[in-house]
């Protein structure tokens, strides 16, 4: 999946669901930190990052952010801000490397924390954990697919 919109959307959704386990002020501020970081990294000139490295880091970030919902000891404001900066950093790197700034349009999915706060407040946080587990599986499969040559994506002996 070399499209930039879907990985950015999945990372923003994972962060939004992770922020559902924080308080409203921390979640709002972390979402703002993510948006600002992503925009700054996107427009900032920096050296070339190879696309495979950027995409692998992006998928690993999705795994880390989605896995954070399963560890109650990590539900502290400083951890949420670190996850927010990480999400903004890799979203910005992906959009910068690919040159597709339209991918930033997927970042408002971080606002999934708004219904998520209600869901967790009602004691239904297990639903968010299930969705995050699906995101972990998707990201792990994408990392695996990046290392396996897929017919049609690269020239082979028949070309």
Note the pLDDT tens digit of each residue in 128-157. 999 999 999 999 999 988 877 766 666 655
Structure confidence at residue 45 (pLDDT)? 86
Distance CA 43, CA 131 (A): 32
| DSSP single-letter state for residue 141 | H
8-state DSSP, 20: T
Predicted model pTM: 0.91
Measured CA to CA in angstroms, residue 71 lies from 57, 67, 116, 117 at distances of: 21, 7, 17, 17
Q: Report d(CA 46, CA 55) in Å as an integer.
A: 17
Residue 76 has pLDDT above 80, yes or no: yes
The CA-based angle 103-104-110, given to 5 degrees, is 115
- d(CA 70, CA 128) in angstroms, rounded, equals 10
Encode 2-33: b = buried (16+ Cβ within 10 Å), e = exposed: eebbebbbbbbbbbbbbbbbbeeebbebbbeb
C-beta separation of 119 from 22 below 8 A: no
pLDDT at 150: 65
What pLDDT does 101 receive? 86
Rounded CA gap, 34 and 108, in Å? 10
The arithmetic mean of pLDDT across residues 72-84, rounded, is: 96
Is the pLDDT at 3 greater than 90, yes or no? no
């Amino acid at each position: 999946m070399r499209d930039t919109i879907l990985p950015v959307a999945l990372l923003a959704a994972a962060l939004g669901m992770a922020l559902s386990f924080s308080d409203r002020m921390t979640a709002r501020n972390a979402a703002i930190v993510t948006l600002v970081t992503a925009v700054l990294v996107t427009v900032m000139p920096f050296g070339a990052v190879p696309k495979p490295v950027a995409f692998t880091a992006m998928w690993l970030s999705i795994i880390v952010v989605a896995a954070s919902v399963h560890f109650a000891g990590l539900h502290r404001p400083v951890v949420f801000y670190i996850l927010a900066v990480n999400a903004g950093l890799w979203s910005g790197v992906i959009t910068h490397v690919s040159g597709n700034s339209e991918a930033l349009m997927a970042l408002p999915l971080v606002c999934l924390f708004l219904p998520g706060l209600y869901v967790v407040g009602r004691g239904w946080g297990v639903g968010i954990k299930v969705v995050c587990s699906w995101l972990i599986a998707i990201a792990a499969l994408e990392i695996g697919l990046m290392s396996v040559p897929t017919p049609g994506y690269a020239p082979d002996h028949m070309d």
